[in-house]
């Protein structure tokens, strides 16, 4: 029996551009012990999912396991200012954890959403059994980037937990760039009003996470 080849994440990659970062692979939280500070999604199969959340260590009440889940901005504020923040308890079976996959290995049971040359509704259909894995998308292929989670890749090293604070623009040197900031500074900007320190990054080094 023949099988179609798995998609090549390096296909169409220019020689001068770095290799793409690892994709986000969604895994069930049940049974995991390393939840504190991890990015998570909550929801129910057939209903939908909510992201931009962080987990704390699981707790057991009676015979059930629960995961304390906070909105991401609350997590960062609690960590930065060492304050107590209320975290609702979500049954562990309703929590999924973001993990990093391999660049060249795809999970055949829950494949990432493909990026066709001309997107259409049919190509974007997904299963509602579990959250969908996310393949990194080059910033140069997106319509909008400000406020999005981005990954910078320099010399094969991934720099994550970043947010874009601008759209693409021409720098003083004539390069096409985006300004990014550490995610902590991004959220602190909201709760304190203090503008973040930003870094100008050439667009070919950035992916939407």
pLDDT per residue over 51-60, tens digit each?
A: 999 999 999 9
- 112/183 same-domain check: no
DSSP state of 141: G
User: Are 105 and 23 members of one domain?
Assistant: yes
Q: Are residues 98 and 51 in the same domain?
A: yes
Distance CA 186, CA 151 (A): 15
Strand partners, 64: 61
Whole-number Å distance between alpha carbons of 58 and 74? 18
pLDDT for res 13 = 47
- Give the start-end residues of each E strand in the chain: 24-28, 39-44, 48-55, 59-61, 64-71, 89-91, 95-100, 137-138, 149-154, 157-164, 169-170, 176-182, 199-202, 206-208
166, 78: one domain: no
What is the full DSSP assignment across 31-57?
A: T-S--TT-EEEEEETTTEEEEEEEE--
Q: How many residues appear in the chain?
A: 209
- Looking only at Cα atoms, what is the longest distance across the chain? 62
Q: Give domain status of residue 34, yes or no.
A: yes
Tell me the C-alpha distance between 53 and 71, whole Å: 5
Between CA 151 and CA 148 the distance in angstroms is: 10
Q: Is there a domain that residue 127 lies in?
A: no
Same domain? 99 vs 152? no
Task: Please tell me the total count of domains within the chain.
Answer: 2
Domain assignment of residue 84, given as a range: 19-119
End residue of a domain, out of 119, 150, 165: 119
Domain-embedded: residue 5: no
Q: Which residues are within 8 A (CB) of 139 and not within 5 positions of it... i.e. 6 or more apart?
A: 145, 150, 164, 168, 178, 203, 206, 207, 208
Q: Is residue 37 part of a domain?
A: yes
Q: Which residues pair with 201 in a beta bridge?
A: 178
Give domain status of residue 80, yes or no: yes
Same domain flag for 26 and 111: yes
In this structure, is residue 161 part of a structural domain? yes
Q: Within this chain, do residues 23 and 114 fall inside the same structural domain, yes or no?
A: yes
Residue that terminates a domain, selected from 89, 119, 149: 119
Per-residue pLDDT of the chain (209 residues; tens, 9 = 90+): 444 444 444 444 455 568 899 999 999 998 788 899 999 999 999 999 999 999 999 999 998 999 999 999 999 999 999 999 999 999 999 999 999 997 644 343 444 444 545 567 887 888 999 999 889 999 999 999 999 999 999 998 999 999 999 999 999 999 999 999 999 999 999 999 999 999 999 999 999 99
């Amino acid at each position: 029996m023949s099988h179609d080849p798995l998609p090549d994440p390096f296909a169409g990659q220019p020689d001068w551009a770095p290799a793409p970062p690892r994709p986000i692979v969604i895994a069930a939280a049940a049974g995991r012990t390393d939840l504190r500070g991890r990015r998570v999604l909550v929801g129910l199969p057939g209903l939908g999912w909510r992201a931009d959340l962080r987990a704390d260590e699981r707790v057991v009440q009676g015979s059930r396991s629960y995961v304390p889940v906070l909105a991401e901005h609350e997590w960062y504020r609690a960590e930065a200012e060492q304050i107590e923040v209320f975290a609702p308890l979500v049954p562990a079976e309703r929590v999924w954890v973001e993990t990093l996959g391999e660049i060249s290995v795809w999970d055949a049971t829950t494949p990432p959403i493909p990026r066709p040359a001309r997107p259409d509704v049919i190509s974007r259909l997904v299963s509602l059994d579990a959250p969908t894995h996310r393949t990194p998308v080059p910033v140069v292929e997106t319509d909008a980037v400000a406020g999005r989670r981005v990954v910078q890749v320099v010399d094969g090293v991934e720099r994550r937990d970043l947010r874009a604070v601008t759209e693409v623009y021409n720098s003083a040197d004539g390069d096409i760039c985006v300004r990014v900031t550490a995610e902590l500074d991004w959220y602190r900007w909201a709760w304190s009003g203090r503008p973040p320190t930003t870094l100008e990054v050439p667009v070919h080094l950035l992916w939407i996470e």
